[in-house]
Structure 1
Amino acid sequence: MRKTRVAVLAVLAMVLVGGCLDTSVTTEVGADGDVESMETAFEVDAFTYTLLEESAKEEGYDSLEEMLEDDAGADYENDEVESINASTEQLEDGEYRIALTATDVDPDAIDELEITVDGDTIRYEDTSFNGSNPFGSEFGEFEDDAWTDDGLEDEGAYDGGENDEWTDENWSEDEWGDDNWSDDEWAEDNWSDDEWSDDEFGELFDFEMAVEYVVVMPGEIQDHNADEISDDGTTATWEFTFDEDVDDDSFDEEMESLYVESTIDEGAEGADGDSIPGFGVGVAAVSLLGAAIGVLLRGDR
Structure 2
Amino acid sequence: MGDFHFLRPWWLVALVPLAIIVWALRRASDAATPWRGIVADHLLPYLVQGTAVKRRLGPWWMVVGSALLAVIILAGPAWKREPSPFADDVAALAIVIRISPSMQTEDIAPNRLARSVQKVHDLLGRRGGSKAALIAYAGSAHLVMPPTVDVEIIDSFAGSLDPKIMPEEGDAAGEALKLADQTLATVGGGSILWITDEVSPDEVAAVSLWRSKTHTPIRVLAPVSDEAALKDLRSHTESGSSELIQLTPDDSDIDRLERASRFSAAAPMEGGDRWQDSGYWLTPVLVLLVLAFFRKGWMQSLAARS
Q: Where on the TM-score scale, by shorter chain, does this alignment land: which range?
A: under 0.3
Greater helix share, 1 or 2? 2
TM-score using structure 1 length: 0.22
**Taking CA–CA contacts closer than 8 Å with sequence separation of 6 or more, which of the two structures ends up with the larger relative contact order?**
1
* Structure ranking higher in strand proportion: 1
